[in-house]
């Protein structure tokens, strides 16, 4: 199981559930199954009910295929249009070097404001679209470079939190933890034709291949709650 990643891709547009298991070492698919929903399931809640009806049987099939108990999965959600909030933030570095700690604070502070002001949304990806260093454009933040005016353009991709919570509860009822939530449209945007497919793209997201994605992981817990660590663009 340590060498495998399990993905559940829920296509809300085409009423379909795709399950694939990927070997993390070579990227090969060990399992790829499609399940269609009732076309009348035109709401998020009915789709959750449809998944509930087939999930137990599906888990048995998967466990029989890989001969290991399924306890963790990666959840991919595919919608007609990706939901995102695009924001820009500017800071005066006073001709000092662009410091990792300051950039982390800028992005983390912006994220916290979004979480407070959008309690109905679950933010799943943070992407650096570009940054401007004294009006010179960069695709990746150039840490250590001196500048006066620093501007970073970010895109925060999100899902309706209610949809996620319903799905999380459903999987938890089967003692399955959702490790990572991925926007399928974003994953598809990273596919290189003739070399990649959706499963490899999902694996690449888990591995942090896209350096313009800011990953956030829990660092430690104390009395104040979670301290989180930004990575990928600061590696």
Express each pLDDT in 110-155 by its tens digit.
999 999 999 999 999 999 999 999 999 998 889 899 999 999 999 9
> Is the confidence at residue 161, as pLDDT, over 90?
yes
> Is the confidence at residue 170, as pLDDT, over 50?
yes
**Span 27-31, mean pLDDT?**
83
Domains of the chain (ranges, CATH numbers): 4-80+160-209 (3.30.420.40), 83-157+224-231 (3.30.1490.110)
| C-alpha span between 99 and 116 (Å, rounded) | 26
CA distances to 26, 34, 81, 151 from 40, in Å: 39, 18, 20, 46
Contacts of 69 (CB under 8 A, 6+ apart): 1, 63
């Amino acid at each position: 199981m340590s060498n495998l990643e399990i993905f559940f891709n829920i296509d809300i547009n085409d009423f379909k559930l795709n399950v694939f298991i990927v070997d993390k070492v070579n990227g090969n698919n060990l399992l790829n199954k499609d399940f269609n929903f009732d076309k009348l399931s035109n709401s998020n809640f009915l789709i959750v009910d449809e998944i509930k009806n087939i999930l137990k049987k599906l888990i048995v099939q998967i466990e029989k295929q890989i001969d290991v108990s399924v306890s963790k999965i990666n959840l991919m959600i595919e919608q007609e249009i990706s939901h995102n909030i695009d924001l820009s933030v500017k800071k005066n570095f006073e001709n000092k070097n662009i410091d990792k700690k300051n950039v982390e604070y800028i992005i983390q502070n912006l994220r916290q404001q979004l979480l407070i002001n959008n309690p109905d949304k679950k933010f799943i990806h943070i992407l650096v679209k570009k940054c401007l260093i004294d009006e010179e454009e960069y695709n990746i933040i150039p840490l250590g470079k001196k500048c006066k005016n620093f501007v970073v353009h970010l895109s925060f991709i999100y899902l309706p939190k209610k949809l996620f919570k319903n799905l999380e509860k459903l999987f938890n009822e089967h003692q399955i933890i959702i490790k990572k939530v991925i926007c399928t449209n974003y994953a598809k945007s990273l596919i290189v034709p003739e070399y990649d497919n959706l499963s490899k793209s999902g694996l690449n997201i888990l591995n942090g291949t896209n350096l313009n994605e800011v990953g956030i992981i829990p660092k430690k817990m104390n009395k104040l709650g979670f301290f989180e660590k930004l990575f990928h663009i600061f590696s």
